[in-house]
Structures are given as C-alpha cells and as structure tokens.
Amino acid sequence: MSLLTINKLTATVGAEVTDLPPQALAGDPALGAAVLDALEDNGVLVFPGLKLDPQAQVEFCRQLGDIDHSSDGHHPVAGIYPVTLDKSKNASAAYLRATFDWHIDGCTPTGDEYPQKATVLSARQVAELGGETEFASSYGAYEQLDDDEKQRFGSLRVVHSLEASQRRVNPDPSPEELARWRSRPTHEHPLVWTHRSGRKSLVLGASADYVVGMEVEEGRALLADLLDRATRPDLVYSHRWSVGDTVIWDNRGVLHRAAPYPQDSPREMLRTTVLGDEPIQ
C-alpha cells in the first residue's frame, strides 16, 4: 500500500497529495521513496496548504537526492532560492521573466551538469492576477506522436541556449546583456530523451533554439508545433497558488511555465532544487 493519499488532477499530469503533516516529510526515507515513485507516475505533486517551513523543505528534498547549493546566498536558509520578480528579494530577478515561457530547467547549464531531477516551490506570497504555474507532460508529448514521427524525430538533435530563452522575453537586449547570455555555453541535446527507465520524452521549450542540420526557420517551426501539441490546454495542469501550498515537479518528465504576473507583484516562491543524476541522452 502506498504511504501517500493521491488524487489525480488531470488525465495526463498532476496529482494532489493530502493528509500529510509537513513534519512527516522531513525525516522518513520510505516517504521520500514513495514521493519519487508518485512523481514518476504523475509528473507533478501538489501539497495544498502544507505550510512547510524553509528548513523542513530542504530536509524533505534531501530525502529525494542531492540538493543544489549553487544559488545559495539569496535566502538565509541554505538550499532555498527565492523565485520573484522583486529585485529587492532576488538580485537576479530580471532573468526570471523567462519562466513565462514553457521550459525544462537545466537545459543550458554553465558546465556539463545534468538537468535537475525535481524542483519544489512553496508559496510565500501570491500574485493577485496571473502567476499560476502550469505543467504539461513531456512523456505525453512523445507518446502522442504517430509512429512515423517517432521514427523521424528519433535521430534529431537540437541546440539549446540561454540566449534563445532570454530573447523570447527580452527581444532587444543591450550589448552587455547579449554578451552575458552568450558567455553561457550552448548545449546540443537529442529531441527525444530515452530515460534509464526506458520511457521517452521530448526535450522542448524556451531554450530550444534550432534543429541541427535543418533550415533554421523550418526547425524552429517544427519545435514550435511540437510544443503547441504538447501544451494543448486540455493537457495542462495549471496550479492556482494559495499561500502555504507546496508543489514538486519531475523536471525530467514535465514542461512548466509561470503564467505572467505583474513586474511589481509581491509573488514570492521559495524554491529548492534536487540535482539530477541522469544525462539527456
């Protein structure tokens, strides 16, 4: 019997976990394993009104894998990174407008780090308007291809860049901004990710710039079409936040984005990232 009470939120992605006291999440490896299984099955787990404190959030994430500490220093608790457009709460806030486009985290790392395994967000403050976090299954994106497409796309490779994702929200960068974006190396990934489990997913989203060996505009049109099909409204779970909610997603199996919210919104999510241990291959 599963340790978790799980209710699916849509047919393809997202499930709600209820009846779980926040302190239960911190020190129980069996629960960590159950959460990872449920994540693999559902892509996203929602813990409504959990009111997890930041320290407990980091301890919970430790049950799931190694924690990303590369962005420490923005919050007093190590392992917590504030996601907000408010520059007084996060000096790198300008980059976060790119979260408004569908993406997979970690496709353009500074080195050769693997994409993150899972990410936890807890709502400290919410937007009055907009600011939902939306999710679509990237496994589903592959599964809905027909046999001919699975065959044709199986060998395609795609170049991802920070510039591609930043340009979508900042099409007219200053030379300094452009130089900063370009200092991040580009990364070539297969379009179809064959996971260790044997499942396959599509690697799409804002960082995907062009298809190797294809006319640039033709490749971009293909990527845009695949993204549209993956994120059709009936395939999306949109989480409308209340303060105290915690959501975790499987970054290897979902695309996500924030619905736009105003630049001066108080919205603040506390994020903890579990490092990945599987390359895109």
Minimal distance in Å, beta carbon 235 to ligand OGA?
A: 18
Minimal distance in Å, beta carbon 271 to ligand OGA?
A: 5
Identify what 133 binds: ligand OGA, Mn ion, none; CB under 5 to 8 Å per kind.
ligand OGA
Is 184:207 a contact under the CB 8 Å cutoff? no
Contact positions with ligand OGA (CB under 6 A) in 185-224: none
Q: Does 271 bind ligand OGA (CB under 6 A)?
A: yes
CA 58/CA 65 separation, integer angstroms: 11
CA 11/CA 255 separation, integer angstroms: 16
CA 124/CA 269 separation, integer angstroms: 6
Binding footprint of Mn ion on the chain (CB under 5 A): 105
Residue whose Cβ sits closest to ligand OGA: 258
- Three-state DSSP class for residue 134: strand
Q: Does 258 bind ligand OGA (CB under 6 A)?
A: yes
Q: Does 166 bind ligand OGA (CB under 6 A)?
A: no
Contact positions with ligand OGA (CB under 6 A) in 79-138: 83, 99, 105, 119, 133
Minimal distance in Å, beta carbon 42 to ligand OGA?
A: 18
Number of residues forming the site for ligand OGA (CB under 6 A):
9
Identify what 189 binds: ligand OGA, Mn ion, none; CB under 5 to 8 Å per kind.
none
Strand partners, 11: none
Q: Where are the beta strands (DSSP E) in 109-214?
A: 118-125, 133-137, 157-160, 187-190, 192-194, 200-202, 208-211
Minimal distance in Å, beta carbon 206 to ligand OGA?
A: 10
Minimal distance in Å, beta carbon 2 to ligand OGA?
A: 27
- Three-state DSSP class for residue 198: coil
Minimal distance in Å, beta carbon 175 to ligand OGA?
A: 27
CA 189/CA 252 separation, integer angstroms: 13
Identify what 271 binds: Mn ion, ligand OGA, none; CB under 5 to 8 Å per kind.
ligand OGA
Is 13:42 a contact under the CB 8 Å cutoff? yes
- Give, in order, the Cα–Cα distances in Å from 280 to each of 185, 208, 257, 275: 16, 13, 20, 14
* Complex with ligand OGA: residue 133 or 246, whichever CB lies closer: 133
List residues near ligand OGA by CB under 6 A: 83, 99, 105, 119, 133, 256, 258, 269, 271
